[in-house]
Structure 1
Amino acid sequence: MHLQRILSAGLLIPPLILLIILGTPFHFFLLMSVALVLGLYEFYAMAQAMGLKVLKILGIVGGLGFHTAVAIRGEGQEAVVLGSFVILTLTVLLFTEDPKAALERAAVTIFGVLYVAGLLSFASLLRVMPEGKSYILYVMLIAWIGDTGALYVGSFFGRRKLSPAISPNKTLEGLLGGIAASLGASLVARGWIVRGLGFAEALGLGFALGLLGQVGDLVESMLKRSMGVKDSGALIPGHGGLLDVIDSLLFACPALYLYLTLAKG
């Protein structure tokens, strides 16, 4: 499994970095749109595997619409699209054969859009910032180095279970190892990715984003456990599905965007 993880990362990360560095915000928007579609497909497939009923196509279209509205950054388009999506979902359910399952279908469909599209859209918001390329590379480095640190520290030194009911393999040592790896990555990144970060700022962001990345990973484990699956999919050998790869980013990107907009103006 570890060899597959390394090979997959070696094949996918270099072209991703090139696209971020050489591409425009529109190219990144398209990339995130593809990721959004794949992520929503995986989420709804997990729900269906559990026996839950969802409006898969409507959810994917609604997620794309929300992401597009966020990327446009207009005056309230996100709220209009999200509100319209909720109304349309509930209206469609009026014509289903099983009204008793209407709440279930609405809840799962709408939650998928909020979880995948709502959180992933913050990556597109980061990209259109003045130093957007640097911020995207920074948050990806923090999240994925943190994931790697948590995996290997937990594998070799893990003793204390973090949350056995959610993920029996996750340990407190792995969590701390992941945060430490994120801290180190943040300090390294301030020298060659985000040059404007001070030492204390890099430490604070490394800790906060590293911790939130681990929380995001644990949340996805909770969702998978509740749906009775081990991985969100099999798209990326050694890693699982796309959601298994971006789960930490789903929590780290909104946090970084919030910090930059509030602290940096």
Structure 2
Amino acid sequence: MSAGGGFLMGGGFPVGGGFLAGEVAAGRAAAVVAVVLGAGGIAVATLPSRVRMRAELRRRWRTWALAAPVFLGALFLGHGGAFALAAGLGAVAVGEYARMVALPRAERAVLYGAAVAVPALAWAAPGALGLPFLGGLFLVGALAALVSGDAEQGFTRACRTVFGLVWIPVSLSGLVLLGDTALAVGIAVAFGDVGAWCGGTALGRKGPLARPLSPLSPNKTWAGVLGAALATAGALAAVGSFTPVLWATVLVGCVLGDLLESMVKREAGVKDAGTWLPGFGGLLDRVDSLLIALLLTMVVTL
């Protein structure tokens, strides 16, 4: 990753600080989110009692209504807000991940430290986040298992730690590095998740679109992919950020991010990463697509 690379949206960070997203981009994003949340609130409030998922949909809407201002407000505040958002999300997410895969205390400490240190480095010295840095993370992730001399589970511990480092702290550093693009990606991923649910519900019962994407998550169908494709394209267009490349990275993130977390949860034998986030489970259940979308966007734009 290189701070000298051009941002896909041409935004980036103003020299010497300033807002992470331009006033026009932030205002448009806030307006789009407000309209969609308002329409969604009316829709879930008027659902008839016979709708099986009425209570669940209302819980999800309340969570969205609380999370959206936090996400938008943090990015609008600039470098410091983006760092705080990335570090906060990272600390909670690595905790959930470490519990799921039963990492020992030393590896948990590495993940928690990286959850703060990697976004901080992205803020203070973005040019340092290149291949040498990723090589250093690889060694840091394996160090605890190597030092302990664990011949039985050391390789598994090291692999799970290195995976967690890339999946969570490195991906979330995109909130700091991507400038305006991070705002667009976050909104598009949120819309994509809703579009996938709507597409799967409306079109995923019969026919070729009802085929599951993977045994890892049988409820995820090609109808959901179609719904996510339409929703992400619409979201990016609404905030003035649509390009074929950005749309592709967001869509792939929406699809693969969910399957990736399903793979982790299935091996861990859990249904959700946590229980504290109403309507979703844990934080990882909410940001799994965002993590992959941010990572892919950094790969193709920085």
Q: Specify the alignment match of 2:80 in structure 1.
A: 26
Equivalence map 1:96-245=2 (5 Å) = 96=148, 98-127=150-179, 132=180, 135-159=181-205, 160-190=210-240, 194=241, 201=243, 203=244, 205-245=246-286
In structure 2, relative to structure 1, the CA distance for the partners of 1:98 and 1:209 (3 Å cut) is closer
Contact persistence 1:66–1:82 (CA under 8 A): no
Structure 1 counterpart of 2:63: 8
| Corresponding pairs, count | 242
User: How far did 1:87 drift?
Assistant: 4.0
**Pairwise CA distance, 1:144:** 0.7
Between 1:95-104 and 1:235-244, the stretch displaced more is: 95-104
Task: Give a deviation string over 1:159-191, Cα, whole Å, max 9, x none.
Answer: 32323520021111111111111111122221x
Distance, in Å, in 2 between the alignment partners of 1:79 and 1:206 is: 26
Q: Whole-Å Cα distance in 1 between the matches of residues 239 and 259 of structure 2?
A: 25
- Normalised by the length of structure 1, the TM-score is 0.80
Distance 2:272 2:168 in 1: 16
- Kept in 1, the 8 Å contact 2:212–2:222? The answer is yes
What is the distance in 2 between the residues matched to 1:145 and 1:25? 25
- Higher relative contact order, structure no. (Cα contacts within 8 Å, ≥ 6 residues apart): 2
Q: Note if contact 2:74-2:84 (Cα within 8 Å) is conserved in structure 1.
A: no
Question: Which residue identity does 1:154 align to in structure 2?
Answer: G
Give the AA of the match of 1:152.
C
Following superposition, the deviation at residue 90 of structure 1 comes to: 4.2
* Structure (1/2) with the larger helix percentage: 1
In structure 1, stretches of 5+ residues that fail to align are none
C-alpha change, 1:169 and 1:90, in structure 2 (3 Å) is closer
CA RMSD of aligned residues (A): 2.5
- Verify the 8 A CA contact 2:60 2:279 in the aligned structure 1: yes
Shift of 1:72: 2.5
Structure 2: which amino acid aligns with 1:242? L
8 Å contact from structure 1 (residues 138, 186) kept in 2: yes
1:140 and 1:90 map into 2 onto residues whose CA distance is 31
In 2: Cα distance, 1:89 partner to 1:248 partner? 23
